[in-house]
Chain A
């Protein structure tokens, strides 16, 4: 396995020793580099996901999706991006101007902050908190503040209803999402993401944890999917009843922010599920098959990570294009009467199983 910290250490060494920069400047330059790298990854992931979603959605509907701009429509997303960047931002009369313009940034920042703690590969992690799971749960649900602000400041009934729905959805589903991640924490015995990944070096939790881990994985995918306001849970935007829900009044790049954040949130949910249950960047190791394990180690760790994410994202898209939208009461019933009890029983059972 190639350790990417070799590269980061080399840069650090170059700045500190070779160029002899003081601590302050070294850190400043490194922060900028990390920020640029993460933002680039952010934009690229969003572009790739938008393309993948449109293609896969087409396939589910027996179409072939975008196929005109560039080979296989590969440049379609780029064209769309340019279009959205050149569109006018329409100011809304009698809206709360300050909050209205601020809301998209909340949504974006919520998802960018999560990127900081995600382990993309061996040594490819910006910050490694000892409470990484709690941090990720906290910042990844920050986006809902942006959604609530957007609904409130638009001064529009549809937006407000969409935002309130989204708030209710997040408050309920955050419980199941958090509690099902706790199963992985119990199995690993730590909240540090790097150690959780390390704990899966012999076998991923989804296999090692048996039925408990599987149930927790499925519930996390459902709850996380609900938090991204997509698929059968998209009643926060519900275009047939609320025009576009909380982002009805947004146009141009401010709308683009919501659009991009939706896709990166999809990626973040997949990435968290990957890290916690599918072993993150850890290659597939089966105890006892040393030759097989050695071969698996030759595949670079980011490829493992993004491959597993792609699998989770495909599941999310599959679900999205299979089921009709839930009503708000059905949505809450699903959480409080089905997912919550199962998660609690599951968590209790896994805790007992681990202590025994």
Chain B
């Protein structure tokens, strides 16, 4: 009798669980679909913030970047993807020699998107862009120069907005500690 009772109990519990399963899959059935209809929605397509499409060097509105040509990213890159070409220029005010970025060459074809360069840069001078449409017909076009023509490093003397100043100091501190 006990076993019969258990059998009936198990039966009803089983049926309840099966119905629960059906309910969950029906909820999925009615949920909005996640499929991206790519070529149609290329104008509105949203990408994740962490998506790494291509390395870029953000410039501000005065055509200034933050790269001081220290070469840390170049050294950290496991694939030799980055080439930092720099030259020594004398500072007209202090008269001291200073490294200045000439060309920042990035080879998209060999990059493995490991993010080492971005994390190791002490000035947050480089970042990732989200434009994933990077297919080209010619391999040479994968070599890109990241610093814009005629750009120069952001000068510390010009007062920068508060938030940016804070950001800069924090990175410097982070580097020291």
Contact = CB atoms under 8 A, between A and B. Distances in A.
Given A67-B37, A338-B11, A61 B28 contact: yes
Contacts, number: 36
A306 interface: no
A31 interface: no
Contacts of B21: 322-323
B36 to A, nearest CB: 10
A322 B25 contact: yes
Interface in B20-76: 21-22, 24-26, 28-29, 31-35, 37
Contacts of B37: 67
Interface string A48-79: 00000000101111111001000000000000
Contacts of A58: 33, 35
Nearest to B14: A338
A46 B28 CA distance: 26
B28 A60 contact: yes
> Chain B, interface size: which category?
10 to 19
Given A62-B34, A67-B37, A323 B28 contact: no
A63 B31 CA distance: 10
A318 B18 CA distance: 12
Interface in A196-232: none
Contact of B25 (A63, A64, A321): A321
Contacts of A60: 25, 28-29
Interface residues of A, number: 15
A52 to B, nearest CB: 13
A59 B29 contact: yes
Nearest to A56: B29
Interface in A297-356: 318-319, 321-323, 338
Nearest to B26: A318
A337 to B, nearest CB: 8
A204 to B, nearest CB: 23
B35 A64 contact: yes
Interface in A63-102: 63-64, 67
Contacts of B35: 58, 62-64, 67
A63 B33 contact: yes
Nearest to B31: A62
A62 B33 CA distance: 5
Interface of A: 56, 58-64, 67, 318-319, 321-323, 338
